Amino acid sequence: MAHLALLPADMVFFTQITMEAAEDPSFLDAMRKANIKGALVGVESVTPEGLKDVYKDFNSAGDSLVERLRTFRHNVHVLGSFIFGLPSDGPETFEATVAVAQNAEIAFAQFVVLTPFPGTVDFAKWEKMMQGDLARISGVPLTRGWLIPQALRQKVYWPHPVMSIEEIRQRKQAVWDRFYSLKLIWKRSRFVPSLRSRLAFIFPSSTDKCMPIPA
């Protein structure tokens, strides 16, 4: 990052980091000096149970998570990534998640559904569970879902213990709509220095919920 800081000021960077970066103020200062303007941070879940589901129980949860995310605010703009559909999730998880995202005042957020990818523990479990099921979509085995045309992909890959697929889909969409309401977008835009910049912030924010992010 010290070398990046020597580059022309009009070169800006974006990256992906873990929550642990917030524990090191000098690291965050180095990011700012390196002209790293934003970072995707894998928050994953706002509950201790959800973090355990994704093997990230070392992350913060609840009020501690809000404070941790706010630590980033003065150095880089955060795109927080949250996962729904974890085994421990319930209807109340959606409200708790959007509340954390709002209270932490992160610039952007993406809300996705648990999707097993190759190389992960969850994929291995899911593929074993699918043995004997020869279901194909557009000729692609369901266990290679990332190759299926996006419009035909499943939204939830295995049954949830307390919620239906449709309930998860509807609640997730409601979170997107609430976080990216014009009122909250305008409130989050306070971090930019001028009215012109705040108005410019509205455009990517108001279209972000329509981005083709995998479900």
Residue 157 has pLDDT above 90, yes or no: no
- Number of residues that this document lists for the chain: 215
At 210 the pLDDT is: 43
Q: What's the mean per-residue pLDDT of the chain?
A: 84
d(CA 21, CA 211): 27
pTM value? 0.83
Distance CA 141, CA 148 (A): 8
The structure tokens listed for 109 are: 């957020």
Provide the pLDDT confidence category of residue 80 given band limits of 50, 70 and 90: very high
CATH architecture of 4-114+159-208: 2-Layer Sandwich (3.30)
Here the contacts of 204-209 (C-beta below 8 Å, separation 24 or greater) are 204/108, 205/108, 205/180, 206/180, 206/182, 208/108, 208/110, 208/180, 209/176, 209/177, 209/179, 209/180
First-to-last C-alpha distance (Å) of the chain: 33
Q: Where are the domains of the chain?
A: 4-114+159-208, 116-155
